[in-house]
Structure 1
């Protein structure tokens, strides 16, 4: 009888032994992750079974198993209804404006803040612009409604008393509503986003500035030829990764600020799904809309990570 051991068997035995040895060292970490894994399974993966109602004429009293299957009926309606097409357009427009300004404004502010030499003043400014990020839209929306009111709001009082302009209905006019949404989002988040660009600025080689100064380059030329090129990689990464959220224009903000007067200009996919699905009880159509958004977002996420890897050598793993 041949009792020799095959090399592949030895390799597999060694691999199993190595895995067991590693697991004995790391099992406490796996145990710590277990609650999070269970919660993710219960609240993220198990409910995904409910997407089948997008292909049904769902009736709550009949349940998923008893409701009639209608195939892609609701998906066809998604692209035939004028209100749903308008919602998709609103989402793309508002999200695109937010992405664009949330790159330009933090970069400009980081460049200005980087020029401040008094550290005490610099830290005070940083703290002040970071604070809005930590406030919820429930609080900020109440503040904005009061400030932007056409009847006695501070902003309209300034426009009337100082400039002689008529009052503007910022939250009741569609075009002004979009402007208000984008502006308030930038005001709330640009300070926190500035952290990324300040960190990138600190990573630029100071020898480059010293060499440019010796050559007689002004501060403006140093910014154009050294600072901005140094920020291009992180700007590319942020812009690329932001594309994955092009169909998410901010449910919390829109929901707390909008009203029926601006549905045609300010309604986005998330608020539309909530209103149609929860309030109007058109659960199948709302689920189809949400599933459409999820599929497109998943494709965008995979694409932009691939693009970020190719353009800026960015990867998570």
Structure 2
């Protein structure tokens, strides 16, 4: 039986990755301090563990959501430590394969100001004209990718994926999609959107994030790959989908005093679609989320 270690297994991506691997017949060990039944410090695993796995999925990160990205920059140091320790451990113990969950935050914010609807291609981080990723979290993930490349040069099999705006029915309210589902469940009126409402994102269902990432591993692709759809949808339009599915008409209020991130973040899906094509449309994802929200 194939074996896997999933770090951050209690988080949104980690728990879906763990479930998918187990359903695929893998023997999976998950580690996460947030697990209330069996908390495990991921750094302790990297300091003391020596078991070799067929696949290490590194999904652990502290608070990778907008409020923390803008308001808690100290998380950067911890996330850098996590990534450095993981790659050091993987090389030292001879791990067979690593899947590194990077982020679309690695892309230069200058390409995402909304003046041009720029589809972010995997090579856009290679600009020689001043790379400025999205806040400390973007720098963390870009550094993680550089560390991954260095580990690969020493012989480690590493796969890097860059998820765009992943979402799902069980996503927490620290993220926009989960927050919107919660507001529909409570039938909030007014319905508040952070920012101007026209910030645009590339939404991809968590099942497609997981299946797509594992398809990258199966295809043995060793360059970074966007996990995206190529379709941009404004926050305001996403809210309209939610309230239409929820069957009510609240007043929509824009809170421009809250963090909103970059204006236009949409991925170029060409490389990804050669490996995997997303199965769940945003409309279906919203419908699932509303059904799940109103049933709780």
Higher relative contact order (CA 8 A, sep 6+): 1
TM-score by length of 1: 0.22
* Rg larger in structure: 1
Q: Which has the higher strand share?
A: 2
Q: Which has the higher helix share?
A: 1
TM-score by length of 2: 0.23
